[in-house]
Amino acid sequence: MNLAQFFDHWQIVENPFQGEEARHDAVFARMALRREETHAPVAMHSDFEKILGGLSRPATAVVFGEKGSGKTAIRMQIADHVARHNTASRSGRVFLIAYDDLNAFLDRLHEVNGGKTPLDSFQRMRLVDHIDAILSIGATAVTDALLDGRATDANPLGADDRRALRRAPADVRRDLLVLQAVYDRSDDADARTARLARSLRLGTLGSDSLWRAAGALGWLPAAAFLAWLVLDEVAPGGRTALYLFGALLGVWAALLLKTFVVDRFALRRLAHRLRRQVRVLRRTDDSYAKSLARLRRADRSPGVLPMTSSDEQRYGMLDRLRRVLGSFGYDGVMVIIDRVDEPTLVSGDAERMRAIVWPMFNNKFLQQEGFGVKMLLPIELRYALFKESSAFFQEARLDKQNLVERLTWTGAMLYDLCDARLRACRSPAAEGQVTLLDLFAEDVTRQDLVDSLDQMHQPRDAFKLLYRCLTEHCSNVTAEQAQWRVPRLVLEHVRKQEADRVQQLYRGIRPA
């Protein structure tokens, strides 16, 4: 017998237990779709509500979990909840920033810091680098939605939002232009600054425009004086006329020098300082200079732009982002941090992860009003955390961060999860109900399954156990025997082998 025949008998259209990574798990997506269509409850971790918190007032949560404990699934479930919340209402929405693909940011930091090893570079990482990266993701997403109509399910920015922003006060529109000019990570960021300024109906007003106009038209007085000399007989002659003409040309030359040399040099110098501080983006001085040229002089001051390592300008930029999002009906921002062990330069190294994550354990950063950070971290960082000093804990204030020290699953929780996956994979035309227990022989009780799953600890390992039970059974019987239920002996044999594998995995002597 093969698995396809076994599943056909039970009217199961897809293997419920073959998924090992939530991002690529078709059954997980099927369960989410089933929930939308039937409004049926879905199996979630018992700490999920604590981690999610209230969407009307986003709050921080810090979660530690083993590999395969469901951190990525929780991230996707949070995104699903936020998407449904934002779709249901135009007010009180939550803007979701997924800070889970760190490869580009870390590669850039390693290149800029110039450490001999990635750890050397990451140990120079600052909180402001993380804030810059988060602002870059948020500002780029808003700009993509407004200029190119590229919105996401979690952040549905549409034509109505674009019209709302154009009607917003000029200060709010300028806030967005500043954010885009500094943090847009698009390859054509400088060109997008010009497009965005036109879309927001923000011209390059102010003293810069007057100086440019004066430089462009500064030749007119000299030309007019020359015409007067030629056409009017009473015009002064001799050296006086020459001196006056030379003075007018000198004024024009001074205007050209200021407009096209001095001002451009100052702008390039400002762009260079900005690029050196915003270390997570691959933008050039020229790109920044062209973007900054579209801003008012007041918006290019050191008190606005992040030109030092101070965090005050970064928090000011976060306030600007919240004001811009407020014009779309977003009252809060939620940042999800996940997969910090996966970037190429990290490769699961605990010290490198610690160097990356630790700067974010700052109470001021984690407890901003209307700003929630969901940190889904590998269990290795929990062990490192417990070795820290009391001064570190005083700064991090983890007692206020909805801390989940270990994302654990009981056998009963895993049974419910696996049973829900089984039901999600049955054919819509299937007759009757089939539970997980029905797939096993009559001498296998529900408690036997719960106890076996309890030894697996994590969803990923629970799926491996059940998958092996089914394949072991199918490989040892023929289709003619029509034995559609897994015997107790197979369950016990597989349970013992899988429990040994899990223990070896925890001791670090097995790869998976």
Binned at pLDDT 50, 70 and 90, residue 302 comes out as confident
40 pLDDT higher than 60? no
Domain residue spans of the chain = 1-45+409-512, 46-201+304-404, 207-293
154 pLDDT higher than 80? no
Which residue's structure tokens are 């939620």?
334
Number of other residues whose CB lies within 10 A of the CB of residue 253: 14
Of 34-43, 68-77, 447-456, give the lowest mean pLDDT range: 34-43
324 pLDDT higher than 60? yes
- Report the C-alpha dihedral over residues 485, 491, 494, 496, rounded to 10 degrees: 180
Q: What is the C-alpha separation between 316 and 229, in angstroms, rounded?
A: 57
Query: What is this structure's pTM?
Result: 0.84
Q: What is the C-alpha separation between 241 and 225, in angstroms, rounded?
A: 9
Rounded to 5 degrees, what are φ and ψ at 19? -75, 135
Number of other residues whose CB lies within 10 A of the CB of residue 237: 10
Strand ranges for 37-186 from DSSP E: 61-65, 93-99
Q: What is the pLDDT of residue 202?
A: 82
Q: What is the pLDDT of residue 510?
A: 65
Q: Would you give the distance in Å from CA 381 to the centre of its chain?
A: 20
Q: What is the pLDDT of residue 206?
A: 45
Chain-wide mean pLDDT for the chain?
86
**What is the identity of the amino acid at 466?**
L
Q: What is the pLDDT of residues 100-152, one digit of tens each?
A: 999 999 999 999 988 899 999 999 999 999 999 999 999 999 998 888 877 77
Give the pLDDT mean for 365-385.
93
* Residue 306: closest CA among 437, 128, 177: 128
For the residues of 229-261, what is the DSSP string, one character each?
Answer: HHH-TTS--HHHHHHHHHHHHHHHHHHHHIIII
Q: What is the C-alpha separation between 41 and 60, in angstroms, rounded?
A: 25
Give the pLDDT mean for 278-300.
91
Please tell me whether residue 477 adopts helix, strand or coil conformation: coil
